[in-house]
Structure 1
Amino acid sequence: MGKVLATIRLTPTDPNVDLNEIKNNIQKELGEELHDIKEDPIAFGLVALNVMVVVDDAKGGTDKVEEKLSKIKNVSTVEVTDLRRLVE
């Protein structure tokens, strides 16, 4: 077991949601686990956020992170789209 880099896609509830507010809430919730956040245009003005986090696989992987992200205001869906083991 070791550390993994996970990409988690967050879809907002509405195209008019303030993405900066969601990003700030992600930073507050995840702290040092957060590696990066990238915007990903989907369609019709809707923009998803790809959140990259580094988590310890031995401590439950992404489950706790997904739970934290799903509780953020104006987040509709949370989905792990990529998972890579880090070489230490």
Structure 2
Amino acid sequence: MGKVYMRLRVMPKDVEVDLEALKEKVKEAAPEKVEIADFGIQPIAFGLKALLVAAVMPDEEGIGDRLVEAIQGLEDVESVEIEAQELV
């Protein structure tokens, strides 16, 4: 079975959200078998920054959706968008 690389853009609810704390919450929320490989920060506008999340997971049906749903369910998250997804 292969692995899937997924890059997500996580938009916080407002500019006051601590992105360092959000990184920890994302790591904790990730389903079993999902490895959070890296984080980045992308300036958006007016002081708002997006959290970029790189994750590697087995090529199993629904595991990417579970990751997105878990992150979307976090208190400080406004939205989650899949920017890239590829088989590695």
Specify the TM-score bucket, using the shorter chain as the normaliser: 0.7 to 0.9
What TM-score do you get using the length of structure 2 for normalisation?
A: 0.88
Q: Following the alignment from structure 1 to structure 2, what is the Cα–Cα distance between the partners of residues 39 and 11?
A: 10
Residue 59 of structure 1 aligns with which residue?
61
Residue type of the alignment partner of 1:23: K
Q: Distance in 2 between matches of 1:58 and 1:21?
A: 29
Aligned to 2:52: 50
> Root-mean-square deviation (CA), in Å?
1.6
Letter in 2 for 1:29: A
The aligned counterpart of 1:11 is: 11
User: Which has the larger helix fraction?
Assistant: 1
1:41 match: secondary structure? strand
The separation in 1 between residues aligned to 2:60 and 2:14, in whole angstroms, is: 35
CA deviation profile, 1:28-85 (whole Å, cap 9, x unmatched): 1227521111111111100001101112222324101001100111100001000121
Equivalent runs, 1:1-88 vs 2, <5 Å: 2-30=2-30, 33-86=35-88
Task: List structure 1 runs of 4+ shifted beyond 6 angstroms.
Answer: none
In structure 2, runs of 5+ residues without a counterpart are: none
Long gaps (5+) in structure 1: none
Tell me the percent identity. Answer: 35
* Partner Cα distance (2:17, 2:39) in 1: 16
Give TM-score, length-normalised by structure 1.
0.88
Aligned length: 86
